[in-house]
Structure 1
Amino acid sequence: MTTHDVREHVIGTADALFYGRGIQAVGMDVLKAESGVSLKRLYTLFPSKEAIVLAVLERRHALWSQGLETAIEAASSPRDRLLAVYDYLADWFCIDSFRGCGFINAFGELGAVSPSVADAVRSHKRSFQASLTRLVHDIGGSSELAAQLAILAEGAQTTAAISGTPEAAGQARRAAESLIALSDAGLREALAVTS
């Protein structure tokens, strides 16, 4: 295997371990045993456990962004593209290994002690907010509506993880539909006043 292949293997193994057990519960010896990569090689590839955590978060961000974009692009209208975010969450919540948002989990474990991890999590959440803002603007909505819809999505992730059931995605989708309808009504009213 090339160095790149070994690195990707370690990141994938670490991702599964961190997500399934928690970052702090997984030591380098466990990662060594599960990945089959020696400690010396692990530290050659990654100077610290924090570097592995950051690589895992980078991988998760890429997978999340790609999956979300695929779901959005499959929808036909601007409104359906926006609501596809919640359909994507519904599919994700039904996966047996679902344990909530890996970024929220990482922030909960390390956000107070690792500025680099906190920054990576904040960057991911800003990216998601920017995606929602773009989708909301496509339907004529405001940045405030985008922020509200992001809170629904984030809350659904946490609720689904804690409850162990996927219903939060549908509840968040229905709440999003209500907020969009209220926004549409407000926009129509504003246009009527100005015309």
Structure 2
Amino acid sequence: MDRAAAREQALDAAEELFYGRGVQSVGMDDIRGASGVSLKRLYQLFPAKEQLVEAYLERRDERWRARLADFVRRREDPEERILAVFDWLELWFGENGFRGCAWINSYGELGATSERVTAQVRAHKRAFRDCLARLVADAGLSAALSGQLFLLAEGAMVTAGITRATEPARQAREAARILLRAA
């Protein structure tokens, strides 16, 4: 197996295990078993578990933001694109195996001890906030609105992760609609 294939297999296994069970409860031997990548090769690819967590979060970020952008892009009206973010969150919250926000979860587990994980989490949240800021600017609305929408979305993520319900996205969408109307 070449390096790229081994890396993808390891990341696939890491994503499933880290997201499903939590980072701290999964060892490198668990990743080896789930991926079929030897422990030696795994450590060649990721000399420390922290580097594997970092790569997992980085790859997940790319996929997450691409899925969101593809969904939002389908709406014509700039204000509807903003509300589409919350529609997409509702779909995400309803996915089989949804366990909350991977970045919030990882930060909760490792944020106090891992600068790499903290950097990935902050980069993801900054990129999401920037996405909202672009949508708000495209709608010709006050830039301050993007921070408020960001907090609504983040609160919905935390609540949905805890309750395992999609309702927080609908509630956040309604609050966002009210903010848009007021703006």
Distance 1:44 1:115 in 2: 21
- Give 1:143 shift: 2.1
**TM-score (normalised: structure 1):** 0.92
Tell me, what secondary structure is at the counterpart of 2:24? coil
- Give 1:2 shift: 2.2
Residue 57 of structure 1 is matched in structure 2 by 57
Residue 69 of structure 2 is matched in structure 1 by 69
Residue 131 of structure 2 is matched in structure 1 by 131
Distance 1:149 1:41 in 2: 43
Matches for 1:166-177 after TM superposition, within 5 Å = 166-177=166-177
Matches for 1:43-192 after TM superposition, within 5 Å = 43-183=43-183
Per-residue CA distance 1:55-76 (angstroms, 9 max, x = gap): 1011111011100110111011
Identity of aligned residues (%): 50
The residue type equivalent to 2:45 in the other structure is L
Distance 1:64 1:35 in 2: 22
Matches for 1:14-53 after TM superposition, within 5 Å = 14-53=14-53
- Give 1:169 shift: 0.6
Rg comparison, structure with higher value: 1
The residue type equivalent to 2:95 in the other structure is I
Distance 2:27 2:64 in 1: 25
Q: Which runs of 5+ in 2 are unaligned?
A: none
User: 2:9, 2:37 within 8 Å by CA — same for their partners in 1?
Assistant: no
Distance 2:140 2:92 in 1: 28
Distance 1:40 1:76 in 2: 51
Q: Which runs of 5+ in 1 are unaligned?
A: 184-195
Distance 2:43 2:2 in 1: 16
Structure 1 residue 10 and structure 2 residue 10: aligned? yes
Q: How many residues align?
A: 183
The residue type equivalent to 2:56 in the other structure is V
The residue type equivalent to 1:89 in the other structure is L
Tell me, what secondary structure is at the counterpart of 2:100? coil
Per-residue CA distance 1:20-43 (angstroms, 9 max, x = gap): 000000011111111111110100
- Give 1:122 shift: 0.4
Q: Which has the higher contact order (CA 8 A, sep 6+)?
A: 2
